[in-house]
Amino acid sequence: MTAPTPLPAQQAAPAHPAPGYASPIPVVRTHIGHAIASEWTKIRTVRSTVWTLLSMFVVTLGIGTLYALSLSGEDYVGMPLLAGGFFGLMLGQLGIITLGVLVISSEYGTGMMRTTLTACPRRGRVLTAKAIVFFLLAFLMTLAAAVPTALVQLAVLSDQEVPSYAVDDAVMEDSIVDGEVVASTDQVLGATLGAALYVALLGLLALAVGALLRHSAGAITVMLGVVLLPLLTALFLFGESVADLRDALIEYSPLNGLASLYGIPMMGDELDSGWPLLGLLALVTGGTLAAAFARLNAGDA
Amino acid sequence: MIELAGLTKRYGRTTAVQDLTFSVRPGVVTGFLGPNGSGKSTTMRMILGLDHPSAGQVRIDGRRYHQLADPLTHIGALLEAKAVHPGRTAYHHLLCLAQSNDIPLRRIDDVLDLVGLAGVAKKRPKGFSLGMGQRLGIASALLGDPRILMFDEPVNGLDPEGIQWIRNLMKRLAAEGRTVFVSSHLMSEMALTADHLIVIGQGRLLADTSMARFIEENARTFVRVRSPDHERLRAALERAGGRPRQCPDGSLEIEDLPAARVGELAAENDVVLHELSHQQASLEEAFMRLTHESVEYHARAGR
Ligand SMILES: Nc1ncnc2c1ncn2[C@@H]1O[C@H](COP(=O)(O)OP(=O)(O)OP(=O)(O)O)[C@@H](O)[C@H]1O
Ligand SMILES: [Mg+2]
């Protein structure tokens, strides 16, 4: 062999110059709808979707039902009628968070992301489609768990006898009408639509964190920290000097946001309907998603 | 047609691919040859728009990859690592790809039949053998019936039957007029499949040549002869016009006389022969010579 000098690129013609293959498949302009259809197929065809959603459903409705049954009878509970749904969904939301992370991090873990991005090189479109499909699914499934949980509370706990002192209880302000415990319209909305929206947003945040970290266990850990740490930290902050910090941690804890939607805020005055905290969560989620878009577009896949 | 111009990729301080300029033409199988770590997979990822080049550019039939609205109907690729979710069935894997590019769904059954996976369409790739996984990757590449196909080490880990199958498939695809670009680190494999050859080492272009020409230039044939009395043999060969070369192991190599003539000369001169053989320098050797200086780890790895 002579010296390994590169030969000029145009040097050798193909052995049998062909006219080129013409694919019979019509050329189409794909749009976001194609990406959404594809992502819907992806999410419904892996087992992790089934078990995360199923566990969310079972835990939410199961704990909510146990709570209601354990308090049934005519004794006064001292909490808004639908509040019991919180305890189940507090744990059930972990299923949604896990699914949110897995929707994207499992693609990085398996190498599927490269296939996805060769099929749809517009990376923003891929992330948008994933976010839309996941958010709608998470919202509807959480709603499907929250509504029967609320119905169980109504059915089991409606005939409490209200003691006279209860009328002065601030927490029960909207809950007692004519000496009976009832669920106000606001409470019904909070415990169903509000809670479902809140948990779906938290799942979307998890998806964005998964896209940023590209690692399932890491992203799930971060999300557990986001959900649990503010409240846990607050438990260990004693003393007057850190009282403000402690109160802020409790007030802005994601768990407080959900609790507030069920009418049992842990702290705070103005934010206690839960909706302002839901708006805050939406902002944080939007910001994190924007960061995920930037990371996805900038780097190598 | 795939065209690369000055394509360069740096990861931190490592330069994985440096200033690659070449085109891959339709109608032939183009082999992309280079030792481990020479930048083949990196180049292919850049062609697919997965990795961003540090410099230079790639054109797929004249366009950038991300300008292709339905890329799977232009170019199909089998990537190095299994790029499938192990928990999604073969059928559903292909379904989500077809939907994203609006490919008619009947193509799914077509390609599953073509690669011989129709029987396991409803199975999850988790339980697939290496060869089945590779076939699923090829089915994904063929799904959009594209004009350009790219395979990264498709025969890795396959049994002889699987290798044969892929070889024939690639030749058939090229004969249909498609552009077929296939990487390998085995020259012997390429010699059987490729019509055109692109060799890289340490991310640089070392050769861009037709296979026929590479063989012609590199497949040196000669006669090896061994004798206890090689001085007399040598003299006889030289009288007959040959130019024997002395090898370190004591044998002689002659390029300009056929084996039969060497035997006759030995008999005429009563020289005893211990070996008389026809030799062909392998293409693998030629490839190794070509990439010798560029093999980063060849001393350390001791392979
Ligand atoms: N993501 C990355 N980050 C850092 N370095 C990388 C990355 N990808 C590849 N490299 C480096 O770039 C070089 C080329 O790697 P590449 O995988 O493209 O080689 P290859 O020719 O495909 O090798 P093989 O035959 O082993 O598959 C190697 O030195 C590798 O370590
Ligand atoms: Mg490689």
The per-residue pLDDT of chain A, averaged, comes to 89
3-class DSSP state of B299: helix
CB contact under 8 A, B69 and A29: yes
Q: Shortest CA distance to B170 belongs to which of B115, B102, B250, B124?
A: B115
Query: Can you give chain A as a three-state secondary structure string?
Result: CCCCCCCCCCCCCCCCCCCCCCCCCCCCCCCHHHHHHHHHHHHHCCHHHHHHHHHHHHHHHHHHHHHHHHCCCCCCCCCCCCCCHHHHHHHHHHHHHHHHHHHHHHHHHHCHHHHHHHHCCCHHHHHHHHHHHHHHHHHHHHHHHHHHHHHHHHHHHCCCCCCHHHHHCHHHCCCEECCEECCCHHHHHHHHHHHHHHHHHHHHHHHHHHHHHCCHHHHHHHHHHHHHHHHHHHHCCCCHHHHHHHHHHHHCCHHHHHHHHCCCCCCCCHHHHCHHHHHHHHHHHHHHHHHHHHHHHHCCC
Identify whether B301 is part of a domain. no
pLDDT of A14: 42
CB contact under 8 A, A118 and B49: yes
Distance (Å, rounded) from C-alpha A79 to C-alpha A77?
6
- B141-192 residue pLDDT tens: 999 999 999 999 999 878 899 999 999 999 999 999 999 999 998 888 888 8
Ligand nearest, relative to CA of residue B40: 1
Q: Which carries the bigger pLDDT value, residue B298 or residue A275?
A: A275
Q: Shortest CA distance to A222 belongs to which of A293, A301, A288?
A: A288
pLDDT-derived band at A202 (thresholds 50, 70, 90) equals: very high
Are B257 and B118 members of one domain? no
Q: Which of A213-217, B36-40, B242-246 has the lowest mean pLDDT?
A: B242-246
Identify whether B262 is part of a domain. yes
Residue nearest to atom 1 of ligand 1 (CA): B11
Identify whether B293 is part of a domain. no
pLDDT of A9 strictly over 90: no
Q: Which of residues 79-118 of A touch B (CB under 8 A)?
A: 106-107, 110-118
pLDDT-derived band at A1 (thresholds 50, 70, 90) equals: very low
pLDDT of A201 strictly over 50: yes
Q: Which carries the bigger pLDDT value, residue A178 or residue A236?
A: A236
Are B190 and B42 members of one domain? yes
Total-model pTM: 0.87
Are B33 and B155 members of one domain? yes
ipTM above 0.90, yes or no: no
Q: Which carries the bigger pLDDT value, residue B206 or residue A158?
A: B206
Residues in Cβ contact with B152 at an 8 Å cutoff, skipping those fewer than 6 apart = B40, B41, B44, B77, B78, B79, B80, B183
Are B227 and B182 members of one domain? no
Distance B13 CA to ligand 1 centre (A): 13
- A74-101 residue pLDDT tens: 778 888 889 999 999 999 999 999 999 9
Identify whether B288 is part of a domain. no
Mutate to test the interface with A, among B68, B99, B147 (most CBs of A within 10 A): B99
Q: Which carries the bigger pLDDT value, residue A298 or residue A211?
A: A211
Ligand nearest, relative to CA of residue B200: 1
pLDDT of B124: 96
- A15, A34, A300 ranked by CB distance to B51: nearest: A300
The per-residue pLDDT of chain B, averaged, comes to 90
Distance (Å, rounded) from C-alpha B140 to C-alpha B250?
55
pLDDT of B294: 58
Atom number, ligand 1, closest to the C-alpha of residue B35: 25
- A240-291 residue pLDDT tens: 888 889 989 998 999 999 999 998 888 766 556 889 999 999 999 999 999 9
Residues of A with CB below 8 A from B145's CB?
A: 23-25
Identify whether B295 is part of a domain. no
CB contact under 8 A, A9 and B22: yes
Are B190 and B274 members of one domain? no
3-class DSSP state of B30: strand
Element (DSSP H or E) covering residue B301: helix B298-301
Distance B33 CA to ligand 1 centre (A): 14
In angstroms, the separation between the Cα of residue B79 and the nearest Cα of chain A is 8
Structure tokens at B73: 């109907």
Are B246 and B178 members of one domain? no
pLDDT of A10 strictly over 60: no
Are B166 and B38 members of one domain? yes
Q: Shortest CA distance to B75 belongs to which of B8, B24, B7?
A: B24
Average pLDDT rounded to a whole number, residues B11-15:
92
Average pLDDT rounded to a whole number, residues B260-273:
91
Half-sphere exposure of B121 (CA within 13 A, CB side): 16
| Domain boundary, last residue among B215, B244, B268 | B215
Q: Shortest CA distance to B183 belongs to which of B26, B10, B31?
A: B31
Counting DSSP H helices and E strands in chain B, the numbers are 11, 13
pLDDT of A39: 98
Give percent above pLDDT 70 in chain A: 92
pLDDT of A19: 59
pLDDT of A189: 94
Are B51 and B103 members of one domain? yes
Ligand nearest, relative to CA of residue B80: 2
| Domain boundary, last residue among B199, B215, B231 | B215
CATH value at residue B227? 3.30.70
Strands B29-33 and B196-201, bridge-based pairing: parallel
pLDDT of A114 strictly over 90: yes
- B52, B87, B97 ranked by CB distance to A119: nearest: B97
Atom number, ligand 1, closest to the C-alpha of residue B185: 25
Distance B9 CA to ligand 1 centre (A): 10
Q: Which carries the bigger pLDDT value, residue A12 or residue A137?
A: A137
CB contact under 8 A, A117 and B49: yes
Average pLDDT rounded to a whole number, residues B201-228:
87
Instruction: Tell me which residue has tokens 């290798």.
Output: B163
Q: Which of B214-228, B270-284, B285-299 has the lowest mean pLDDT?
A: B285-299
Identify whether B285 is part of a domain. no
Structure tokens at B291: 């990439």
pLDDT-derived band at B255 (thresholds 50, 70, 90) equals: confident
- B118-142 residue pLDDT tens: 999 999 999 999 889 999 999 999 9
pLDDT of A43: 98
pLDDT of A73: 75
Residue nearest to atom 12 of ligand 1 (CA): B16
Average pLDDT rounded to a whole number, residues A149-169:
85
Are B37 and B159 members of one domain? yes
Are B50 and B147 members of one domain? yes
Distance (Å, rounded) from C-alpha A95 to C-alpha A56?
5
Identify whether B38 is part of a domain. yes
CB contact under 8 A, A122 and B176: no
Are B25 and B140 members of one domain? yes
CATH value at residue B19? 3.40.50.300
Distance (Å, rounded) from C-alpha B139 to C-alpha B149?
11
What is the count of structural domains for chain B? 2
Cα dihedral value A95, A98, A103, A104, nearest 10: 170
CB contact under 8 A, B102 and A299: no
- A17, A42, A111 ranked by CB distance to B27: nearest: A17
Ligand 1: residues whose CB is within 6 Å?
A: B 11, 14, 16, 34, 36-42, 80, 185
pLDDT of B301 strictly over 70: no
pLDDT-derived band at B299 (thresholds 50, 70, 90) equals: very low
Residues of B with CB below 8 A from A24's CB?
A: 145
Residues of B with CB below 8 A from A34's CB?
A: 99-102
Mutation to probe ligand 1, out of B8, B14, B295 (largest number of atoms < 8 A from CB): B14
Using the Cβ of A236 and the Cβ atoms of chain B, whether some distance falls under 8 Å is answered with no
Beta bridge partners of B180: B29, B149
Q: Which of residues 251-280 of B touch A (CB under 8 A)?
A: none
The residue extents of the domains of chain A are 32-296
Identify whether B291 is part of a domain. no
Distance B45 CA to ligand 1 centre (A): 11
pLDDT of B54: 96
Task: Provide the residue range defining the domain that includes B114.
Answer: 2-215
Give percent above pLDDT 90 in chain A: 65
